[in-house]
Structure 1
Amino acid sequence: MFRYVLRTAAFAALYLAATVAGLATAGSASGVRLLWPAAVAGALWLVAQGRYGRRNLDVIALSVVAVLAPGSDGGLLHSFVQAVPQVVPALLFAWLFDRRLPGYWLGHGDRFRRTGPALARLAGVAAIAGLSAAALLKVVNTDLGFGEAGYVVVRDATALVLTVLVARVVRRLVTRRGAEPADRPRLTVVR
């Protein structure tokens, strides 16, 4: 349980740092930022912690961190409303990702998966999450134009796909580096 709490705190710090980084980028008049890494941080938080079986606690923690994150100037109720377009797409991505590509995050079952269909499923899941973020942002912010909402879909979906692919490559490199080469003979001592 202690390791779970430490991982949750690390993901919360990552989410807050991603929010600050996103707020530092240029934004439109309606508040759409050029980059929004908090969407990726929230989704990956729920995906990475999903295998521990406490997703409900992770959603609560993400919700609290999203409400407390900087950037909302309208008070507590406004912070709650602004947290919805952050948490719901992350939860939707994590749930669909686990349903459509089980074990993909950890590289499980890769030898049985064809690359093309797996990438198509990943892109579809990311597009649905981006679409939900844009729809919720449009409900929360009536000043948001349809062009900006489309940009949110493309921005978030692209960021999610690229981040998952980069995480898989990094995981594969780390796994290969730790494995022993098969061609090197092993020495065994018999007593």
Structure 2
Amino acid sequence: MFRYALRTAGFAALYLAATVAGLATAASGSGVRLFWPAAAVGALWLVAQGRYGRRNLDVIALSVAAVLAPGNDGGLLHSFVQAVPQVVPALLFAWLFDRRLPGYWLGHGDRFRRAGAALARLAGVAALSALSAAVLLKVVNTDLGLGEAGYVFVRDAAALLLVVLAARGIRRLTTRRGAEPTDRPRLTLVK
């Protein structure tokens, strides 16, 4: 449980750093940022922690981080409302990702999965999540135009797709193929 709490704290710190980085980019008149890495970090958080069976705790932690994130200047209720377009799409992405691509995050079943079909499913999951983010942001921010909502959709879908592909690439580079685990007993022939 201690390691889980450390990972959760690490993801919360990464989420807050991503929020600060997103706030440092240029914004439109209605507040849409050029880059918003917090959307990808929130989804990555819920996907990476999903295998530990405590997603409800991660959603609560992500919600608290989104409420406490810098840039929510309109009071507590405003902060809660602004957190909804951050948390709901991340949760939707993690849930759909687990349903449509089970084990994909860890590379399980890659031998049996066609690369093109898996990429198409990943793109579909990212698109649905980004669409929910754009719709929720449009509902929360009435000043948001349709063009800006479309930009949020493209920005977040591309970020989610690229983050998952980058994480899988890094995981492939860091794991050695064909290496035997050291804790598995070896069978030897005895004379």
Q: CA deviation at 1:52?
A: 0.2
The separation in 2 between residues aligned to 1:157 and 1:140, in whole angstroms, is 19
Superposed, 1:15-54 pairs within 5 Å as: 15-54=15-54
The equivalent residue for 1:12 is: 12
Q: What SS is found at the alignment partner of 1:5?
A: helix
The separation in 2 between residues aligned to 1:27 and 1:72, in whole angstroms, is 15
Q: What SS is found at the alignment partner of 1:176?
A: coil
Q: CA deviation at 1:73?
A: 1.0
Q: CA deviation at 1:177?
A: 7.5
Asked if residue 152 in structure 1 is aligned to residue 156 in structure 2, the reply is: no
* Gapped regions of structure 2 (runs ≥ 5): 181-187
The separation in 1 between residues aligned to 2:93 and 2:166, in whole angstroms, is 17
The separation in 1 between residues aligned to 2:75 and 2:50, in whole angstroms, is 31
Deviations 1:92-131 (A, max 9, x none): 0000000000000000000000011100000000000000
* Gapped regions of structure 1 (runs ≥ 5): 181-187
Q: What SS is found at the alignment partner of 2:175?
A: helix
| One-letter amino acid matched to 1:29 | G
The equivalent residue for 2:161 is: 161
The equivalent residue for 1:78 is: 78
The equivalent residue for 1:120 is: 120
Deviations 1:61-91 (A, max 9, x none): 0000100000011010000000000000000
**What's the TM-score once normalised by structure 1's chain length?**
0.93
| One-letter amino acid matched to 1:123 | A
Q: CA deviation at 1:158?
A: 0.3
The separation in 2 between residues aligned to 1:13 and 1:102, in whole angstroms, is 27
The equivalent residue for 1:56 is: 56
- Percent sequence identity over aligned pairs: 86
The separation in 2 between residues aligned to 1:176 and 1:28, in whole angstroms, is 45
Residues matched between the structures, number: 185
Deviations 1:159-180 (A, max 9, x none): 0001100111110010027937
Superposed, 1:77-156 pairs within 5 Å as: 77-156=77-156
Query: Pairwise CA RMSD of aligned residues?
Result: 1.8
| One-letter amino acid matched to 1:115 | A
The separation in 1 between residues aligned to 2:178 and 2:26, in whole angstroms, is 41
